[in-house]
Chain A
Amino acid sequence: MKKVKRKSYYDKRKLIVFAFVLPAAIYMFLMIIIPIINNIVMGFQNVDLMNFAKGEKKFIGFDMYKKIFQNSTFRIALKNTISYTFWCLVFQFPLGFAMALFFSKKFKLSQFLRGLTVIAWVLPMIAVAGVFKYMFNGDIGIINHLLVNLKIIKEPIKWLAYGDSAMTAIIIANIWKGVPFNMILLSAALTTLPTDVFEAASIDGANTVKRFFYITVPLLKPAIISVLTLGFIYTFKVFDLSYVMTGGGPGSATEMLSTLAYRYSFSEYNFSQGSAVANVLFILLMVVGIFYISLVNKEESNN
């Protein structure tokens, strides 16, 4: 008798739990899962301008993927996306880490200043892109104005007119926006570190550098991996920055996977080709995500 009662109590509890999850789950299913599945299916079809409305969609296997991998613009976009992500992370992470360490020192206004830097992260990407586009303007931009007046360069640089400098400009804009994100997550992790370990180490004669490399970094490892993975995903799926600042140009110099997918689907009406590019982007990010989750699980089982 008692057993049955307990069981029904748990059943009820389970139901309540499900009821709470259900709205979000339905929403996720309709708004995210279904479009993703549609997109994957479309990548294996030949949907373009000519059969888009008529519904004669043929399955063509991996032909669309073969086609995009043979396309030089796609290869450039893939290369651009990877090198963009690499350079962003190389600067974003150490800068963010340094700032997190700096603001973890309790000085006057440290909390306030840390909050202030987060503004960059909260700003919508499109606004950042718009502002940086004007700042990097070769004729009237403030960045050239500063560099020329500080005598760092003699002639103004036409940032957005040439491939390499356009890519540099986009990377700088993203670093500016990404640093606070790295900082805030690492700051949060820093506050969870046990202070006694540091005290013990300094009594044993470990200096600041040693304490940093032998205590702070190992203890922060899970947070560091998380920050890098998240940073990778956020950066890799860049769209607004390139779309607004250069439109993917000049030529294909700043074309990214996301902008190319958009271009194929919505300017050229090659919907399947666009889907295939988006799927490549999705799969690459998925791999990173799975890698991260398996790392987290490993950490947890070790503990």
Chain B
Amino acid sequence: MKSIMKKVFALLIVSTLAISMLTACSKSSKDADKTDQKSTETEKKNDTEKKNDTGSVSTKEDEPVSIEMWYHISPDQAKVLLGMLDEFMEENPNIKVTTQSVAFAEIKKQLSIGVAADKLPDVTLCDTVDNISFAAMGAAVDITDEVEAWGELDHYFDGPRSSALYDGKYYGVPFYSNCLAIMYNKDIFDEMGLEYPDGSWTWTEFADLVAKTTTEDHYGLTMCLYKSEEGTFNVLPFIWQAGADFSSLDSEGAVEALTMINDFYQKGYMSKELVSMTQADMCASLFATGKSAMMVAGSWLRTNIKNENPNLNYGVTTFATYKNGASPIGGGNIMMMKDDHKEASWKLMEFLCRKENSLKFCEDAGYISPRTDAVEMSTLWATDPIMSVYCEQLKVAKARGPHPKWPEISSAIQYAVQDTVSGVKTPEQALKDAAATVAEIK
């Protein structure tokens, strides 16, 4: 009995040690999955090819190709996309598009694993901020020639377009855009007899309102301070508004911005839980349930609010202006990851980015089109009381970076924010350390 126990223990130890290399393991198992899927695809392809062989002689252009596309948008949003893919296949009967849905938080990891294992989709959606990282990595295909021949990039907003540009070349096309603005709970403002904020407000007025709207029942402001890109996304606009950027984190402006946020936090104008909440979490548990008067939020959170509390009476306004007006651009780009079927892949990208399709997808998914001509065409974005504000805000919105090593820069900003609000460092010290880290990044 005793020796059996020992063997069991030894076995447990061995297996635990093995599992401890978790990153390595997950990599291999994912590869296995992918190979399975690939093999069935190639079988299908072989089948169709065989049919062609027995039939008449086929030219190379007509040869049916199958291309794979990954996306990281929610199932609801994907419905429109999948519908559009069906249309595309009707238009191009020789191209078959297979899709794979990847969780929003996973796509970056899955794509980098795909690079290592040489198992990439032909085309993929990715977060705008990651586009040039994949370009620098050599993973995204240079599509400058295609894009220039297409000639439609002139109709894009500058911010989104710059997110696809690396070293003077294009490695993607912006597919949907969004930016942040300030949502406010109309009922709370009415109850307190306060006027709704509008786009003409200054930082001082903003800070006053945050203080005033904080009561026993609700916080004044909610914004994401989580240690991820989401946290950077929410804090960065304030740094920009104060005239600083990632390359000048130790400047007076950046310190002013972080000091203001830290004041809100320490004085209890914001929930202390925000350091461990994603944007979706904070929206559901604070703003949507009336526990916060204002929230730094993107238009996509409307869906979350609708699901959580459809009766919430809220409005939206552009950020307060200090030295600049600024908001960060979010959204997604389409990248080509393989040039095996370059022609077919580009056809698909071009199809999805057409004015009508961009309009259709973005309107339905709660985003804004990165195309100025699509925005002009839309009645929704011109008349909707919420979306029209986001369109207005998008005009002064900037892309984060752009820098191929943005994830590292962002990481430094996240540590600075969290070290400050948890009281480990002063805003000055935290930003000085972050600036030193950023300076080391080549």
Q: Is the CB of B5 within 8 A of A223?
A: yes
A227, B244: Cα distance in complex, Å = 54
Residues in chain A near residue B133, CB distance under 8 A:
49, 269
Per-residue interface assignment for chain B, residues 1 to 13, with 1 indicating a CB less than 8 Å from any chain A CB and 0 otherwise: 1110110011011
B28 at interface by CB-CB < 8 Å: yes
A76 to B286, CA, bound (A): 32
In the complex where A39-B21, A239-B22, A274-B23 touch, is A137 in contact with B13 (Cβ < 8 A)? Answer: no
| Chain A residues closer than 8 Å to B407, beta-carbon distance | 267-269
B20 & A285 in contact (Cβ 8 Å cutoff): yes
Q: State the total of A-B contacts with C-beta under 8 angstroms.
A: 180
In the complex, what residues of B have CB within 8 A of residue A250's CB? 227, 275-276, 418-419, 421-422, 424
User: Given the complex, which residues of B lie within 8 Å of A249, measured CB to CB?
Assistant: 226-227, 275-276, 418, 422
Pick the residue among A251, A265, A271, A289 that contacts B13 (CB under 8 A). A289
**Which residues of the partner chain B approach A168 to less than 8 Å between Cβ atoms?**
none
Q: On chain B, which size bracket covers the interface?
A: 35 or more
Residues of A near B9 (CB, < 8 A) are 185, 226, 229-230, 292, 296
User: Which B residues touch A269, using CB under 8 A?
Assistant: 112, 133, 137, 405, 407
Residue of B nearest to A140 (CB): B285
Asked if A222 meets B137 with Cβ closer than 8 Å, knowing A162-B423, A230-B12, A269-B112, the reply is: no
Q: Is the CB of B137 within 8 A of A52?
A: yes
The residue on B at minimum CB distance from A219 is B2
Q: Is the CB of B24 within 8 A of A36?
A: yes
Q: Is the CB of A161 within 8 A of B272?
A: yes
Residue ID in chain B nearest A236 by CB atoms? B20
Q: Is the CB of A161 within 8 A of B422?
A: yes
The minimal Cβ–Cβ distance linking A196 to chain B, given in whole angstroms, is 16
A167 to B276, CA, bound (A): 13
Do the beta carbons of B2 and A222 come within 8 Å of each other? yes
With both chains docked as a complex, state the minimum distance between the C-beta of B267 and any C-beta of chain A, in angstroms. Answer: 14
In the bound complex, do residue B25 and residue A31 qualify as a contact, i.e. CB atoms below 8 Å apart? Answer: yes
Q: Which residues of A contact B276 (CB under 8 A)?
A: 133, 160-161, 245-247, 249-250
Q: Which of B1, B12, B275 contacts A161 (CB 8 A)?
A: B275
Taking CB atoms and an 8 Å cut-off, the chain B residues in 213-232 that contact chain A are 226-229
Identify the stretch in A14-22, A206-214, A256-264 within 8 Å (CB) of chain B at 4 or more residues.
A256-264
A162 to B422, CA, bound (A): 5
**8 A–B pairs (Cβ distance < 8 Å), ordered by A:** A28-B18, A36-B24, A226-B9, A237-B20, A251-B424, A282-B17, A282-B20, A300-B3
New A-B pairs, 4, CB < 8 Å, besides A162-B422, A246-B276, A247-B227: A138-B271, A237-B20, A247-B228, A250-B419
Q: Which residues of B contact A (CB under 8 A)?
A: 1-3, 5-6, 9-10, 12-14, 16-25, 27-29, 108-109, 112, 115-116, 133, 136-139, 226-229, 271-273, 275-276, 285, 291, 404-405, 407-408, 411, 415, 418-419, 421-425
